[in-house]
Amino acid sequence: MAANSNLLHSPISTPEFLALCADFQLPAKLACACSGGVDSMALAYLAAKSYDVTALIIDHGIREESAEEAHKSAEILSDLGITSHIITIDKEFGSNLQAEARKLRYQLMTDYCKAHNITHLATAHHADDNAETVLLKLARGSGVDGLSGIRAQTEINGIQIIRPLLPITKSRLISTLEEVNISWMEDASNHTDKYARNKLRMALAGLEDAELITSRINDMAENMRRVRDYLEMQTEQAYAECVEEGDNHLILDRDKFNSLHDEIAFRLLITLIDKLAKPEYRPRFEKLKKLRSSILNGEKKTLANLIFTPKRGKVIITVEK
């Protein structure tokens, strides 16, 4: 048991970090999102040992001390020989503060990357974050995709967003910085119970077997990821077999679509909607069920600013004008 406990808290070595990055096929130049907290500071420190790193620090202006914290983070990074750039946000956020701030944060960071010929942006999401995400999704009734947790790689605004620390626990990130005596900033908002994620984080931390539970949740998420990957592969195959692409429209073979398994049929509808309409938010499942029923019955239907028109065994999908 002692050996396992030591492993759970051991610092991350350079070879281990490079192994975590291997699947991303990274170029020499890399940006790291850095809040100044322990997670992102550990990421910047580890990445800078092997890559040409620019740490992007976001000053949201949400808290009075945010500007001071951003500059203090830049000082710590400078002492480590890491280039940083502070991006200041001057905006009033609405009621959904966290979601709005996140969207704008990624927009500004990816804009910076594009302007400086950086193709990859690394974020410091780790195993504890992933476990929290899975539990939040579970509480909201999510299916396979939600229970798969955080994706290791996504694309935003043409920039590859990578998360090499997903398999790593927060305790190991703390040990990594403590071993080399690197300081970090503490965000007071992480300790308030105002947000659902913070409430969950504090509840998990209070459990006797918190680290074991986090590990088990991540194991489950990995199982769900394999299921998700298989379903996505089947959906790609269904798209190739059922869909023809035209100028500003798609043509769906109704008979082939009607023969699909329910799960693949719904995923294919989401793919069609994403491809033509590119909505900010996908339609709710109940609306997808009604759309599929209309297609099965040969009825015309409108959803997500798209018109689904039956025509001689096909469904013509066009953008609503």
**Same domain, yes or no: 235 and 164:** no
pTM (predicted TM-score): 0.88
**Same domain, yes or no: 169 and 261:** no
- Domain CATH for 238: 1.20.59.20
- Domain CATH for 195: 3.40.50.620
- What would the two tokens of residue 114 be? 């594009």
Establish if 79 belongs to a structural domain: yes
Establish if 153 belongs to a structural domain: yes
Percent of the chain residues topping a pLDDT of 90:
75
Return all residues near 210 (Cβ < 8 A) that are at least 6 apart: 204
**Same domain, yes or no: 191 and 268:** no
What is the distance between the alpha carbons of residues 147 and 218, in angstroms, rounded to a whole number? 10
Residue 251: alpha-carbon gap to chain centroid: 31
Assess contact for 228 and 145: CB atoms under 8 A: yes
**Same domain, yes or no: 84 and 157:** yes
What is the distance between the alpha carbons of residues 224 and 143, in angstroms, rounded to a whole number? 9
**Same domain, yes or no: 118 and 247:** no
Establish if 180 belongs to a structural domain: yes
**Residue labelled with tokens 């918190």:** 210
**Same domain, yes or no: 88 and 187:** yes
pLDDT digits (tens, 9 = 90+) for 115-135: 999 999 999 999 999 999 999
Range of the domain at 303: 231-319
pLDDT digits (tens, 9 = 90+) for 237-291: 999 999 999 999 999 999 999 999 999 999 999 999 999 998 777 899 999 999 9
pLDDT digits (tens, 9 = 90+) for 189-245: 565 555 677 777 777 776 668 788 899 999 999 999 999 999 999 999 999 999 999
**Same domain, yes or no: 275 and 200:** no
Establish if 214 belongs to a structural domain: no
**Same domain, yes or no: 201 and 278:** no
Q: Which helix (H) or strand (E) holds 318?
A: strand 314-319
Return all residues near 124 (Cβ < 8 A) that are at least 6 apart: 32, 33, 34, 37, 39, 40, 42, 43, 163, 165, 173
**Same domain, yes or no: 59 and 123:** yes
| Predicted local confidence at residue 209, as pLDDT | 80
Domain stop point among 206, 240, 273: 206
**Same domain, yes or no: 107 and 60:** yes
| Predicted local confidence at residue 89, as pLDDT | 83
* 41 confidence band (pLDDT: 50, 70, 90): very high
**Same domain, yes or no: 272 and 188:** no
**Same domain, yes or no: 62 and 99:** yes
Count of domains in the chain?
2
